[in-house]
Structures are given as C-alpha cells and as structure tokens.
Structure 1
Amino acid sequence: VSVSGDQYRFEIDPVSLAYYLDSLGSTTVDRADMEATIKDGTLTALKLDLEGVYRIQDQSQPFTAVVDMEAEDINKDVAVPYPADLANWGK
C-alpha cells in the first residue's frame, strides 16, 4: 500500500484474484492494481487495473481490464433497475 494525500494505491495478489475470476484455473493474472480516493473517511473513487491471460485448451488470449468508479450522491439511496426477463436481456 502506498498513500499520497487522499489517494491510496494497493497491489492485489494476482494469484488470489485469478481464482476469483475463474476458479477452474484458465485465467492467469499478471498484474492487478487498485487505486482508491478516500476523503473524510468516505470512499469517493475506485479504479481497478489488471492484465493477464485466458487459456482454453491450447489457445490463449491476453486481456486487460480497467474498472473506474466514482461515487456520486454519497449517503443517498440508489435504485438499480433490472429487466423483468433476464434470460433474454441483452440479446
């Protein structure tokens, strides 16, 4: 962990993260970092940055992923709408 002002940077154990992404072992995470902004004890932003490789039989494909979140309307209720028919959602 490193801290600079209200910015916190974490290095995540790649082996543990790979297991959570795919417990069957076809995913390898080479690097995983997380940055968090914490102001007055409240998490206001979070960024997860990772890279690795998916392997299926003899084939492999590198991947990168960045998840960037910013909190808005802290301490207010949030409604997350879900479609009524999840089986056909996104088709």
Structure 2
Amino acid sequence: MINIFEVFLPQLLRYPNPNDPLNGEAAALLMRHPKEYDVKVKEYVQRYATKEAVDAAMDNDDEDGEDEEMSDIGSISEDEEPGHMDD
C-alpha cells in the first residue's frame, strides 16, 4: 500500500496517459490544449483538493445528519451466506 500512495499515484498524477484515458474529455483537452488543461487542473485542485475544500465538504456532510453506506454489504439477509446460492 505504501508503494501505491508514495510512488504509483504521484507518478500517475504527474504523467497522465491521454492515449488510454479514464476521462476522455480531460485527455482530449490535454492533447489539444495543454495550457488550458493545466488551468483546469489547477482550478479543480483549488475546488476539490485543498484542505479548505475537504474541511468544507466534511462540514456539509456533518450537517446532513445521515451516514451513507459505501457498499450494500448490509443488504445480505442473515439466512444467506456470502458465496452460497440456494438451489
């Protein structure tokens, strides 16, 4: 896990591969207008990846008063065993 966070992710963020994109719009912008891409990345960092943005998002989540489940594991009924299917 340390290798992923300290090596892989920083390199992935520094050197994106627009030839095999997850976000086609961002890849096209990087390939056609690299300066506009840089401006957009900086804008997104300010909006979503600063301590202030994270704190504000956390405050908004706390105000909602709801804890959302990140998975549906709780939906398995007690009489069902994971990986076991009834005939």
Instruction: Settle same-fold status: TM greater than 0.5.
Output: no
**Higher CA-based Rg:** 2
User: Normalising by structure 1, what TM-score?
Assistant: 0.22
TM-score by length of 2: 0.23
Q: Counting strand residues as a fraction of each chain, which structure ranks higher?
A: 1
Q: Name the structure where helix makes up a greater proportion of residues.
A: 2
Structure scoring higher RCO (CA < 8 A, sep ≥ 6) equals 1
